Amino acid sequence: MLIRLFLTFFKIGLFSFGGGYAMLPLISREVVETNHWLTSEGFANIIGISQVTPGPLAINTATYVGYKTAGILGSTAATLGVALPSIIIVYILSLFLDKHGNNKYVGGILKYIRLCAIGLIAAAAIMLKDDVFANVQSVLIFIVAFILSFRFKMNPITLAILSGIAGFIIFR
């Protein structure tokens, strides 16, 4: 189980570009559909929890899934698996960008990778919509949170706390 956790999250870390939300489609496919370590509702819950806990989304998810699946060792294996590819890739890219960072082709490649990340984030949002938008109250919390974030630039931590309080009041 530990090797499976490590390899699954290594693959997630290796093939997910854009970080955080861009990783959600692949994490969901591996954790919910392929390995059945979480239900889709459980996955949506861990995404919410990851918003109010410190650290990157992928690390928090790997740590949680690893712990739920195989305890402390599972948590360690999954977290190391998801983090290791980034460490290796960033090191190699830093060596490359030191030599070729001002090249217009390299700049173009990086621009289109960012566009791909936006598409992956949109796919993640669409994937989570059925579990998150279960009723009118959930949709209203989303709309208010979106407006407060986008229009009024509210601090994400404050927004997550206020949304959690609203959810507690509405759904208790």
Per-residue pLDDT of the chain (172 residues; tens, 9 = 90+): 999 999 999 999 988 766 677 788 889 999 999 999 999 889 988 888 887 788 888 899 999 999 999 999 999 999 999 999 989 988 998 898 888 878 888 888 888 888 888 888 888 788 878 877 878 888 898 899 999 999 999 998 899 899 889 988 988 7
pTM, whole model, 2 decimals?
Answer: 0.61
Domain coordinates of the chain in residue numbers? 2-131, 133-172
Contacts of 116 (CB under 8 A, 6+ apart): 17, 18, 22
